[in-house]
Structure 1
Amino acid sequence: MRIIAGKHRGTNLLSPEGLDTRPTPQRVREAVFSMLESGRFGTVLRDRVVLDLFAGTGAMGLEALSRGAERVVLVDNHPTALDALRANVEKLRAEARTQVRSGDATRWHDRAQVACGVVFMDPPYGSEAWVPALAAALKGGWIGDDTVVVIETDKRERTGIPDGFEVLDERNHGRARILMLGRTSDEAEVGA
């Protein structure tokens, strides 16, 4: 697994064997970043803060950093994933522009200093954990009016979209379904 484009293009990322993660395949990452950088959603990456929940190895967040994100916050609660995240951040010499946080994304209470351009969520397939994670990120101020929320789920999962959000794009890539959500109003309440 490697960084696809930008400042750190070609850098291999650590993905420990036996880690119960499912890194987003390169072709899916390429498709997601192509959509994000197309201008269709405005400037959501360059010089913006990015939040990567259920970060695993950090492939999505670190790809965003390589492509010009100002800062990336990577959150996971698995000790082996956290070790891999720290090693990958160190490999990129990106400590000053990243924060690795240990925590449950569904109950994460850190407050944002500024809303993110992009929030990535790639919870375990079948868990639907993105719904409470979305609520936690919204409550924490991480999701603003122009934030694009990118969620990877199993394409067979059909969880309803919470009130206050709309589907900006939806695509299937093999087993993966990529949902891109945006806020419809500042009255969005997830899980209320």
Structure 2
Amino acid sequence: MRHQGKSAAPRPGTPGRLRIVAGAWRGRRIAVPSAAGLRPTPDRVRETLFNWLQGVVPGARCLDLFAGAGGLGFEAASRGAARVVMVESAARVATHLREQVQLLEAGDRIEVVADDALRYLRRCDETFDLVFLDPPFQGDLLDKSLAALVEAHCLRAGARVYVEYAASGEPPVLPDGWEIAREGRAGDSAHLLTGPIESPSF
């Protein structure tokens, strides 16, 4: 749920709301805050991702590191994730996410952290089964985040990491010992599922 920058235009079909695709909140529409460059991952991409993750999400501990509108984190919680941590650097957007969590009465499973993603990883004191990485396309935040995940030792055995990046750019530099399990493309973005090769899905 990246912040693309002030020049980014909203994706068609997402005028201020995103739809939960499946699970306990199937069909529920979540308000998207008005923020420059906020572009929720489209329904069809989320549906593809969570099809890849069938059997993984229920009971999983998830980290949505660049939460934005929260579509990936809310989708995971709807499908039975035990815990979802949403990290969002923009204070106003983080406040909006907390309001949506309250509306869903999901405060026991979803925590919103207002912090810079890399700073959060430097102080991370828990481990996760599933991580969503959808940072701004500009710059090298994606490569830095992948490296920081390894350095922080916050991945559980068999963890999966979802990555979204600009289809027109270079794919991310994966940490040593990681492989791509699945990959695809939709519009201006490409996405893949990766993780350490010892993961059962590889």
TM-score tier (shorter):
0.7 to 0.9
Q: What secondary structure, in the 3-state scheme, does the structure 2 residue paired with 1:29 have? A: helix
* C-alpha distance in structure 1 between counterparts of 2:78 and 2:141, whole Å: 27
The equivalences for 1:50-129 within 5 A come to 50-108=62-120, 109-113=122-126, 115-129=127-141
* C-alpha distance in structure 1 between counterparts of 2:116 and 2:177, whole Å: 23
Residue 133 in structure 1 maps to residue 158 in structure 2: no
* C-alpha distance in structure 2 between counterparts of 1:111 and 1:53, whole Å: 11
* C-alpha distance in structure 1 between counterparts of 2:184 and 2:117, whole Å: 24
Check whether the contact 1:126–1:153 (CA below 8 A) recurs between aligned residues. no
Residue 23 in structure 1 maps to residue 27 in structure 2: no
Q: Deviations over 1:71-124 (max 9, x none)?
A: 1000010122202211221121100111111111123223343x3221001101
Residue 183 in structure 1 maps to residue 196 in structure 2: yes
Counterpart of 1:12 in structure 2 is 29
* C-alpha distance in structure 2 between counterparts of 1:89 and 1:127, whole Å: 30
Structure 2 letter corresponding to 1:168: A
* C-alpha distance in structure 1 between counterparts of 2:111 and 2:150, whole Å: 19
* C-alpha distance in structure 2 between counterparts of 1:89 and 1:160, whole Å: 33
Q: What secondary structure, in the 3-state scheme, does the structure 1 residue paired with 2:77 have? A: helix
Residue ranges of structure 2 left out of the alignment (5+ in a row): 1-17
* C-alpha distance in structure 1 between counterparts of 2:174 and 2:146, whole Å: 11
Check whether the contact 1:105–1:136 (CA below 8 A) recurs between aligned residues. no
- How many residue pairs were aligned? 180
* C-alpha distance in structure 1 between counterparts of 2:70 and 2:29, whole Å: 12
Q: Deviations over 1:121-176 (max 9, x none)?
A: 11011333122222222333321331110011111221332322111111111111
Counterpart of 1:189 in structure 2 is none
Counterpart of 1:40 in structure 2 is none
Structure 2 letter corresponding to 1:78: A
Q: What secondary structure, in the 3-state scheme, does the structure 1 residue paired with 2:156 have? A: strand
Residue 168 in structure 1 maps to residue 168 in structure 2: no
* C-alpha distance in structure 1 between counterparts of 2:185 and 2:139, whole Å: 18
Residue ranges of structure 1 left out of the alignment (5+ in a row): 38-42, 187-192
In the superposition, relative to structure 1, how do residues 22 and 177 fare at CA in structure 2: closer, same or farther (>3 Å)? same
In the superposition, relative to structure 1, how do residues 130 and 154 fare at CA in structure 2: closer, same or farther (>3 Å)? same
Residue range with higher mean Cα deviation, 167-176 or 124-133: 124-133
TM-score (norm 2): 0.82
Residue range with higher mean Cα deviation, 10-19 or 167-176: 10-19
Check whether the contact 1:107–1:133 (CA below 8 A) recurs between aligned residues. no
Q: Deviations over 1:34-55 (max 9, x none)?
A: 1111xxxxx4211110000100
Check whether the contact 1:52–1:72 (CA below 8 A) recurs between aligned residues. yes
The CA deviation at 1:15 is 0.6
